[in-house]
Chains A and B, each alone.
Chain A
């Protein structure tokens, strides 16, 4: 498999899929099951050529694939119908097929379709069916975008008839790319036009597939393309056609073969003009292959024209560049992975397995390595030497989420108690006992797997070894058999704080943590109704403080502070009849005015607390104080925890720029003129160093700060978020907060934030086996030295990304080991150590590494890297760095791993075929390329949010999910298949949901059926829908219910509540919405996917030449 790299898997699937499969497969390991992958593609891509191909393969291969195809069709369901109607779909397919044909031409370069693939072939072959395999390889190779359009025409022509088969592959690509065009088959032509297509041809090899395609073709109509229809704009048969047809048919076919993308084919240059003819992207199979569409970009258009002519349905597409459908589609990849790997549990026993994508639902069985929910790596196969690593430029990083929440089906880590002697550790490197430790000398000693030190086994821990050298009790002890487990910490692991009164608290064990609610009661907060809302909510929320395990009541104590430019502490001791307020106005030198009665048990002081929360809004109802302080508030909370000698969390509810005379006073320094200058970085830097100092003190005290912001204007998030950021806290921002509109979102976030299980006073240390070491850390934490990640608080959402570098040679035999140890205080005050272990493979061939990479993780790392870099470098430089690195990664692959092929081809590794699209999303993000409407605060906010995101969050954040709501039958209970985030995919007759983890839009097409409007909004026409609506009326009809359920389920998946915004087509709010269609050119100048791919191709070629 390895050899094949991603490819291997591919073969089985369809080549296109290969890529995907690649992933899966890798995970599956040897599992032939790989076949499965194809299926998935088929399914998803179904629509797209890629799928088709797969299908073919599948077909050929085994039932699965076949299954797949059907699946695809099935998927199509929603679409299918439509498509079907069109018939065009078929037609298109036809065209697409033509396309494929064309590709053939393209393939020509390759030689025989298969041949071309050849290089790849190997791979392909390995897979399964030769052809497929071939394609796969191609795909692997990277999609190739051949500028040569030329072939296209013929194809197109061809397309119809025979093409289909062939086309299937090629054609599909182009089509998909183009909107309706595809269907029209124009795309294909295009592709063909481009010589590249030819290249892809190899995929054509697909021909065989072709056959398969055929089926797809039928399937073609499937949804995928659906989008196409939307394109309406295009002359095509418009809607009908476009949708179903495009996607489905073309893509499938195309992909397989196509993986390659024909760049703007030379011939058509004019049309493509935008895309430089020069580039021809051929993506490896990855894209193309998978989804047929990809390959031929540009071509499609030109082709389109042709097509148009040809198949009635497909109408001539306006000339365009690469066919978007021919380039690797995130949707397809995700769908494939789901289908391939979502069914069986992921068993962690084997070293170096690539886990399923984060977008896939899967169960994990811990058999010695930490679940991917805890740790994900950019690559599961690490180059043995630093030279190789440097050459490849692929960052070696792990994204660690030590306290990740698990699905109910998976057991949380076992707690191991080693008694008074504490956890067993290596004497030299202090690594904790783990399954990789080698017991020797009959069990009397063990050799550390990290530093090779030989340690004695303490007598009480001694156990005999069996004939394989394993301890007899290995399976009875979590620390010897599992990847993740916890130790109960002993006294030695408890922090002795300065000033800790050992006499009064004889136990060095920490006291249970405390939550302190600190509420801004300045004029702004009162006026918006925030204070009243919050106080009301807290009354009930306090019953739901996190508790340990099955504890009856939470051990957490609570305290309350309100503030404007002075602070008000409250004594809510249970013995009082009324709460007492203590005002501290000495904000320059903050202190805690009381000890007893400030932090109380909720149950005991319930009456007093309720009375307090009732009175707070009243007391300040007439306030006219507009000034606030900020740093002193945090200081106060921290001092309170210090006085109470416990760790804890501050919940700050703050409204405005802290301009009152006090430490940490800020001025308004927002200056948009700085954007795109060398000084832009200052917008991300804190205004004053005071907050860093404060944060440091907070960390020392185990005081985590969660900040809820309700700004009306600039509040300098960059500065205010410093403390939350460094203490492992979260920042929530509700711009222009209004109770009516934002209450749901705020309360929901608040509830989740208060209730979530959190560890305090944590220190995380990542140990590695000799050869690599952790050199850099990203996330919300503080580091006082180079190895210990200190987290005042850590919850299940917080992620730390760790970068590794070589400091020696790694050994292929022993692989590379990671051990992440987290020492923390649980919410009941118990001191614990959570250990995660992960073993990775090491390779001497770069190809092995490229086959075991994970793009999502890579993007997570790169985004965090870039977002941190903006603090110190001009944004432009950061973007260039990213692009260069990406180009180097891909060029290295091309140079070292891909089979020789025309320089005009863009060949992407299967595992990384989405790298360009995702990277483009990162580059276009608000932080790196702000649009005019993005405020400085927004950028700073997003910047710090991303810093602690996990892989799943960055994935959807950078590439939003766009879900068509009205395409699938109402009865279907599954989530509708997503479509690509491009305006071209929107049909004005449909309704879509878009979400990126922070925002949720409901987009309503202008010509959506009245019935739908009525069912969803309870108004009679499109024009009566209120734009900007944030709540859907609760209506008793299946559609409304389904949509609302879907929204609920989306919200449930995200760590923050996403406020819904209803956007009407052509409405002014649509601009906001379009911002999230990340495959399109953005208003702020961000490149479209296609453009970027071309650019990337150019870069790579430059590097190669």
Chain B
């Protein structure tokens, strides 16, 4: 076992890949019976401090339909200077540069430890990074002030040659021209009118003037690049200007009557931002950063009317088909997102408001383009400020942790086909021999575009075994998959990262134990969860839950050890033991449960779930709970109501929230002020310990979690209480003994009940 765990961990560290199965069933039929699909979580840009990029270009297989990259799995004939592609078996000549190749003189890409390798491409014009701020001015004064300061601060974080642009919006949309001196100039657009990209470019004067004058006019070849970038200027040139401009930003001046929402033209603002970049810098890394403090209330993409008495749609409204604007708005933003993705740009959404801001409708902008989505209560909170600052954090090389315009290409050996991907990507619609007809997630292609990604961006990629049962794979055969990610590094270089992995095939009938032992239940849980969440976007919640349940039951039936019709005999091997629990918490998670969440919150949670790596995803599914006490060092405890004890401090990390919860006694002590007494210094330390740990988490996490410090009986304790397994409730409180834990007032089933049912169903022959 340990070996597999180590193997998995090593692979993850080296390649950024976690497979649900690490030994693959060798036939389609068997694979289907495994219930959990063959799939992997891929973190394309996983940070590899130990992996310096090589300064040359990859060698490609010469077969036009293959073009796989030379990798350690290839057979090489050093004498003939030939190599055989391990995907299509094409024999290729090495390029002249590889003339000196020999067994002892291998290029890096042939060495086994370089199963992941990064190439740096020198050719092609490098264009600077582009940051286009799209700023809502319908904010409260202090909110706007805070936002302005954050933006001004961000200027100092940008690379000096980056291009920046500014669009502000409220009732109108203003595109600020940054090149001018003296008078500040902006182009203004009506917030209610949808414009085509062409119109926008015409109106911004981005299209080439049709040479109106026949008179001799000295041709100015320099002119056009300048004209086209009037709105996007190098930061080092207009630093001061822009700082002043931001400083002078006023709240939207149009009067807002009582009982009305301010008119906010988010839809048009985004549309213009997209159109602007589309016209000027297509296929160059660019971030559109949308800062909004409320829902779009007019024009295309409006989410709610300006009458305050009509609240913004809730899940209830949506179920009742009562959300008037939702479909239209969603369509608008989807159209924008697709265009943006086509152009290789990404859209970030920073939404800070107490009420919903329309993330539900706008989510695709971030989801499809790999942009960030940040939700907060106000721009004047550290949550936003620090999150925003973290966007510009740098890695060990001093490079920004962001990459742009990536395309991910997946190649498989012929026994496998690609079923789809789930993550912040869009399909590039590249059909090929290795593309399956069955789709899981975004399928039907072997390439995806990921317009914005960072070292933690993770995609779930699903495969289908297509090998027929009657054509067995020779013993010791291995399946291979190659991931080729081309992207624009934040230093503006084009880079290509190639990861090639191989796994053993096994006959599921004779070697099921092997396969079982190589099951990665964590990866499987996350991959299944992604599928579930992906479905939940388009299907009714209960249907998704039923589907998940059925899959779980089938898995248990397949891999459990039991006697028929005897639930008590049911056992799961270690490699599956945690899986049902993950599923239990997943069912309760906000990714699948919309109760108590607004549509915006659901969108927000799902957004992050679909892009975080395995560790973070697991935290999201099953939050981590640490317990602090005088009894010893902090320890992880069960996420269970029984862990809530009076003399403990609990620290819960749900990814989105960090909750520190003081048990009843602790809270009383603190109230009594013991921590201030020298003789109770240890108490003070105890109180401090979780704070320090929380701080550590806060430092690393993006986006900044909501930080909650509460105590027994505190209103905010609900964050904790809603997460833990309700093993004690008002229903069974007295059955379980009063001494331990805290009862949760809920009708939800507890893990124990869930498991009982699961066992019963698994052993039942009816299914």
Contact = CB atoms under 8 A, between A and B. Distances in A.
Interface of A: 501, 503-504, 523, 566, 568-570, 576, 578-586, 589, 591, 593-597, 612, 615, 618-619, 624-627
B65 to A, nearest CB: 48
Given A589-B193, A627-B212, A582 B188 contact: yes
Given A501-B257, A576-B248, A586-B195, A523 B213 contact: yes
Per CB-CB distance, the 3 closest pairs between chain A and chain B, nearest first, are A593-B188, A585-B203, A596-B253
Interface stretch (B177-185, B442-450, B522-530): B177-185
B186 interface: yes
A583 B213 contact: no
B320 interface: no
B172 interface: yes
A576 B248 CA distance: 8
Interface string B158-202: 000000000000001010010000111111111001010001001
B213 A580 contact: no
Nearest to A569: B188
26 contacts: A501-B255, A501-B257, A504-B255, A566-B203, A566-B205, A578-B183, A578-B184, A580-B183, A580-B185, A581-B183, A581-B185, A581-B186, A582-B174, A582-B187, A582-B188, A583-B186, A583-B188, A585-B202, A586-B189, A586-B193, A595-B254, A612-B183, A615-B182, A619-B183, A624-B209, A626-B212
Given A586-B203, A624-B217, A625-B212, A597 B253 contact: yes
A709 B452 CA distance: 54
A579 B183 contact: yes
A591 B174 CA distance: 13
User: Chain A binding site: helix, strand, loop or mixed by DSSP?
Assistant: loop
A470 B258 CA distance: 56
Nearest to B244: A577
Contacts of B254: 595
Given A583-B186, A585-B205, A615-B182, A504 B257 contact: yes
B44 to A, nearest CB: 41
Question: Which of B186, B254, B255, B258 has the most C-beta atoms of chain A within 10 angstroms of its own C-beta?
Answer: B186
A503 B189 contact: no
Given A503-B258, A585-B203, A591 B185 contact: no
Contact of B213 (A569, A589, A624): A624
Nearest to B174: A582
B145 to A, nearest CB: 16
B506 interface: no
Given A581-B184, A615-B183, 5 more contacts: A580-B186, A582-B187, A583-B187, A612-B183, A627-B212
Contacts of B213: 523, 624, 626
B352 interface: no
B238 to A, nearest CB: 15
B185 A584 contact: no
Interface string B196-235: 0001001111000100110001000000000000000000
Nearest to B175: A583
Contacts of A568: 185
A594 B170 CA distance: 11
Contacts of B195: 586
Contacts of B217: 624
A589 to B, nearest CB: 6
A576 B253 CA distance: 14
A579 B187 CA distance: 14
Interface string B378-389: 000000000000
Given A578-B183, A580-B184, A580-B186, A585 B204 contact: yes
A10 B601 CA distance: 98
A201 to B, nearest CB: 73
A627 B210 CA distance: 11
A583 B185 contact: yes
Most A Cβ at <10 Å: residue of B189, B193, B217: B189
A913 B618 CA distance: 107
A586 B212 contact: no
Contacts of B183: 570, 578-581, 612, 615, 619
Contacts of A619: 182-183
A535 to B, nearest CB: 13
Contacts of B209: 624
Interface in B80-138: none
A588 to B, nearest CB: 9
B25 to A, nearest CB: 60
Nearest to B256: A504
Nearest to A661: B202
A586 B190 contact: yes
Contacts of A595: 253-255
Nearest to B199: A586
Given A566-B203, A593-B172, A626-B213, A585 B187 contact: yes
Contacts of A585: 187, 202-205
Contacts of B172: 591, 593-594
Contacts of B188: 569, 582-584, 593-594
A554 to B, nearest CB: 24
A580 B193 CA distance: 24
Contacts of A584: 187-189
A624 B212 CA distance: 8
A576 B245 CA distance: 11
Given A581-B185, A582-B174, A589 B190 contact: yes
A593 B175 CA distance: 12
- Which of A576, A578, A585, A596 has most B Cβ within 10 Å? A585
A1041 to B, nearest CB: 46
Contact of A582 (B186, B190, B199, B212): B186
A45 to B, nearest CB: 60
A42 B202 CA distance: 73
Nearest to A625: B212
A626 B202 CA distance: 16
A600 to B, nearest CB: 13
B517 to A, nearest CB: 66
B280 to A, nearest CB: 16
A589 B194 CA distance: 11
A524 to B, nearest CB: 11
A504 B188 CA distance: 25
A631 B546 CA distance: 62
Contacts of B187: 582-585
B258 A578 contact: no
Contacts of A501: 255, 257
A620 to B, nearest CB: 11
Nearest to A583: B187
Contacts of A624: 209, 212-213, 217
B725 to A, nearest CB: 54
A579 B181 CA distance: 11
Interface in B254-311: 254-255, 257-258
Most buried by B among A523, A566, A581, A618: A581
A688 B212 CA distance: 25
Contacts of B182: 578, 615, 618-619
A605 to B, nearest CB: 14
B364 to A, nearest CB: 26
Contacts of A618: 182
A501 B256 CA distance: 10
A1003 B188 CA distance: 54
A625 B183 CA distance: 20
A594 B188 CA distance: 9
A430 B586 CA distance: 79
Nearest to B190: A591
Contacts of B202: 585
A595 B252 CA distance: 9
A523 B193 CA distance: 30
A636 to B, nearest CB: 11
A580 to B, nearest CB: 5
A618 B181 CA distance: 11
Contacts of A594: 172, 188, 253
Contacts of A576: 248
B45 to A, nearest CB: 40
